[in-house]
Amino acid sequence: MECQRPWIAHPLAIYCVPWLLIAPLYMLEWSSVLIYKADLAAYIAVVWVITPLVLSWLYWELMASRAVGAAPAPPPDFDRLLLFARWLLLIWFLASCLEVLASHGVPLLWLIRHDQKVAQDFGIPSIHGLVNSLLLASTTIYVMAGVMLRKPAYYLVLLMTLVWAIIAVSRELLMVALVQTVMIFLQHRKLKIMRFVFWGAVLALAVLLLFGAVGDFRSPAFVKRTAGITKAYPDWLPTGVIWVYMYVTTPLNNLIHTVQNSVPIYDWSFPNTLQELFPTVIRFTIFPYLDKWTGSGGNLVTRAFNVSSAYVGPAQDFGLVGTYLFAWLTMGTLVYFWKRRDLLGSFGYTLFGQCAFFSIFFNHFFYLPVVFQLIWFLLAVEIATPKARETPPKESAMSPIVAASAGLYDSPGALP
């Protein structure tokens, strides 16, 4: 099935629209935790994030217009692709069994029994993120196969992942799996706008209610104690609304607080930006001066809400220049996979489109449990590429992995 590139999945839409919605939400003033004015929130969002993204997109689009496209890639071998995904699932299952034994249970049971353990206590340190990447990558492959081969039975793997996310009380795992699924559908199904809007609204409502339910189950009465809900908040709205409102607005709140009250360290190693790219066991050995309690949260207004968007690390490392460099690199990655029309392009844009969408919350671009999926996708594409490459013309002898690293747009299907 041909890889679609609808406007609704465009890099600017995926990356910028969530940021454009934050300032209006700020104006609702539903929480006293949001200590800054809406105009300042709008200024930070536009000057520190949206403007760098737009300028970066213009640059990479200009570069793409000068690139020379390569020959289209052959159709993938889905039997091999699914075999690889089954191996990923098997390894994930065995590793998860070990984690359950090592943790003496699962977070859902701990909550039911009111144990003192929390979800963060689950798993084996330093490999738990790798285990999650196995599940996310295999789920994405199965969804891709289900969409392209029109076999809904493959979506059962997604259902299993969502159930496991609830058992592990991991909203991050839940949301990443869902958004990557949506990204696949956007790329490989022709959209009927009204139907997409309808089902998008239904899915958003379901996720909203589920997000609030998981939040309440994981931390009963947490929001009511810490959100500082004002009289402007409509009491008739479900709990999921205030959960989502706080999680959407407080990252910008913390980003503003960091910009206003912190001095950049001007370190070209970008430690605050890159710290989550390393396993826990070595992260604080490499960056011993970072605050292990806030992680990449920056200067927090309150520790109850400890995320500050993907841009707080670059802002701490190099101020406004850091955010421009971060936008340039991440937008370039998005445009690269957007221009591809092969299987790796679909997987890559699914992964990094999700990272861009969630940039209002966290830096998934350099978050090991999420971004390590790219390694599995590269291996999957290498395995699934037909064996016709054993006798290729000399000018196209490179494997997809080598070709992907040969140049930014010197890739299969880079341009029509």
pLDDT at 294 over 50: no
Tell me, yes or no, whether 232 lies in a domain: yes
> How many structural domains does the chain have?
1
pLDDT at 413: 36
Higher model confidence: residue 351 or residue 113?
351
pLDDT at 304: 75
> pTM here?
0.84
Indicate the range of 92-106, 265-279, 334-348 predicted with least confidence. 265-279
Host domain of residue 348:
7-385
Tell me, yes or no, whether 11 lies in a domain: yes
Query: For the residues 120-141, what does the mean pLDDT come to?
Result: 89
Instruction: Give percent of the chain above pLDDT 90.
Output: 40
Mean pLDDT (the chain, rounded):
82
What 3 state SS string does the chain have? CCCCCCHHHCHHHHHHHHHHCHHHHHHCCCECCCCCCHHHHHHHHHHHHHHHHHHHHHHHHHHHHCCCCECCCCCCCHHHHHHHHHHHHHHHHHHHHHHHHHHCCCHHHHHHHCCCCCHHHCCCCCCHHHHHHHHHHHHHHHHHHHHHHCCHHHHHHHHHHHHHHHHCCCHHHHHHHHHHHHHHHHHHCCCCHHHHHHHHHHHHHHHHHHHHHHHHHHCCCHHHHHCCECCCCCCCCCHHHHHHHHHHHHHHHHHHHHHHHCCCCCCCCCHHHHHHHCCHHHHHHHCCCCCCCCCCCCCCCCCCCCCCCCCHHHHHHHHHHHHHHHHHHHHHHHHHHHHCCCHHHHHHHHHHHHHHHHHHCCCHHHCHHHHCHHHHHHHHHHHHCCHHHHCCCHHHCCCHHHHHHHCCCCCECCCC
pLDDT band at 395 (very low <50, low <70, confident <90, very high): very low
pLDDT tens digits for 41-75?
Answer: 889 999 999 999 999 999 999 888 776 555 566 77
Higher model confidence: residue 408 or residue 135?
135
Tell me, yes or no, whether 136 lies in a domain: yes
pLDDT tens digits for 203-239?
Answer: 777 766 776 666 666 666 666 677 788 888 887 877 6
pLDDT band at 342 (very low <50, low <70, confident <90, very high): confident
Indicate the range of 148-152, 299-303, 373-377 predicted with least confidence. 299-303
Instruction: Give percent of the chain above pLDDT 70.
Output: 81
Tell me, yes or no, whether 409 lies in a domain: no
Tell me, yes or no, whether 58 lies in a domain: yes
pLDDT at 144 over 70: yes
